[in-house]
């Protein structure tokens, strides 16, 4: 297997398809001028934006509303040394439209944490990149 056969860049459509296969990803953002990463469950909306559901009082809402962030999800198999990783980069915004909030309360993600009140965050899929690793064999 040549090194060129090990990695493969994924196109936008394949990246979006793969994102529907996993329930959890990571939001990458800045907190107090330092990099921060938070695992969170998500779903994709019909416009391919990433949707998050959390508490309106969460630090995440205050840190990313109106800011460009990255969202990463992946799936790897250590035994076969194969898998994929997808990164969505775009502006995050709190969904404030009442009709949109109602629609997302029916179709959007549900927080895995018990919450009294919820808010939806949308990360626009302005840039979508990904790569696949196919069974790299050890030379040792």
- pLDDT tens-digit map of 64-77: 999 999 999 999 99
Q: Over 70: is that where the pLDDT of 137 sits?
A: no
Residue range 95-123: average pLDDT? 90
Whole-angstrom distance, CA of residue 134 vs CA of residue 116: 43
Find the domain containing 27 and state its range. Answer: 3-130
137 part of a folded domain: no
CA end-to-end span of the chain: 15
Task: Indicate if the pLDDT at residue 140 is higher than 60.
Answer: no
Asked if the structure places residue 109 within a domain, the reply is: yes
Please say if the pLDDT value at position 96 is more than 60: yes
Tell me how many domains the chain contains.
1
Per-residue pLDDT tens over the stretch 2-37: 555 788 999 999 999 999 999 999 999 999 899 999
Q: Does residue 139 lie in a domain region?
A: no
Tell me the mean pLDDT in the region 34-56: 95
Q: How far apart are CA 134 and CA 83, in angstroms?
A: 7
Nearest alpha carbon to residue 122 among 68, 80, 75: 68
Cα 32 from chain centre:
22
**Residue 72 and residue 87 in contact, taking contact as beta carbons nearer than 8 Å:** yes
CA distance 58 to 71: 18
Note whether residue 92 is domain-resident. Answer: yes
> CATH number for the domain including 87?
2.30.110.10
**Residue 51 is assigned to a structural domain of this protein:** yes
Average pLDDT over the chain reads: 91
**Residue 1: what pLDDT?**
45
Question: Higher model confidence: residue 130 or residue 134?
Answer: 130
């Amino acid at each position: 297997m040549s090194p060129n056969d090990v990695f493969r860049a994924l196109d936008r459509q394949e990246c979006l398809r793969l994102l529907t296969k996993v329930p959890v990803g990571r939001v990458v953002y800045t907190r107090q001028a330092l990099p921060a990463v938070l695992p969170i469950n998500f779903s994709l909306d019909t416009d391919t934006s990433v949707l998050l559901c959390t508490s309106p009082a969460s630090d995440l809402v205050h840190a990313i509303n109106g800011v460009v962030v990255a969202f990463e999800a992946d799936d790897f198999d250590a035994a076969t040394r194969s898998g994929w990783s997808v990164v969505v980069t775009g502006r995050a915004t709190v969904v404030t439209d009442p009709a949109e909030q109602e629609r997302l309360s029916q179709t959007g993600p549900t927080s895995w944490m018990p919450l009294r009140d919820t808010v939806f965050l949308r990360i626009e899929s302005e840039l979508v990149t990904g790569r696949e690793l196919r069974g790299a064999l050890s030379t040792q």
